[in-house]
Amino acid sequence: MYRALALAALLLALPATAQVYKWTDPSGKVHYGDRPPDDARKQELRIRIPSYDGPVQVRDWSAVLGSRPASAAGTVTMYSTEWCGHCKNARSYFAAKGISYREIDVEKSEPAAREFKSLGGRGVPLILVGGKAMSGFSAESFEALRSR
């Protein structure tokens, strides 16, 4: 009995590795998941930018910008990836509220990835509004950020 519990504890303590697959269905729609269908054309992705899973953080990023000018007040820019759940929530929220924003996919362009990192990005989404930045997404934090 104790051996079984010890073995279970050991197995739970081992780091889990996850693979993310991208596949296209017969209608041309792209899907992401941990297991593709057997008959799907598939491509294994190596994800280098994590999704930001910590508590939502809002900070003044003007010090990070240095000599670069902050974006105009009220202008929203989101650094994101296609597969990120928090990014999808932010997109849905922006659409529902009619908020216009500029989206930059950090995995589709090397200059975008460098810009993201230069802004202190460690996970997506990174949302900029004027001289403030938000890592992660929550509607309440976003609205507080916009009203500052």
pLDDT in tens, 87-105: 999 999 999 999 999 999 9
Mean pLDDT throughout 29-33?
76
139-142: which pairs have CB atoms within 8 A and are 24 or more residues apart? 139/93, 141/56, 141/58, 142/90, 142/93
Backbone phi, then psi, for 102, in 5-degree steps? -105, 125
Task: Please answer whether residues 64 and 119 qualify as being in contact, where contact means their C-beta atoms are separated by less than 8 angstroms.
Answer: yes
Lowest mean pLDDT among 49-58, 62-71, 86-95, 100-109: 62-71
Q: What is the dihedral of CA 102, 96, 145, 64, to 10 degrees?
A: -20
Q: Where are the domains of the chain?
A: 17-46, 57-147
Q: Whole-number mean pLDDT of the chain?
A: 77
For residue 43 the two structure tokens come to 């491509």
Residue 127 has pLDDT above 70, yes or no: yes
Pick the CATH number of 57-147 from 2.60.40.10, 3.40.50.300, 3.30.470.20, 3.40.30.10: 3.40.30.10
| pLDDT the model gives residue 56 | 72
Above 60 in pLDDT, residue 141? yes
**Closest Cα partner for 77 from 60, 94, 56, 101?**
101
70-86 tens-digit pLDDT: 555 678 999 999 999 99
More reliable by pLDDT, 24 or 44: 24
Length of the chain: 148
Q: Give the residue with greater pLDDT, 60 vs 108.
A: 108
Is 33 in contact with 20 (CB distance < 8 Å)? yes
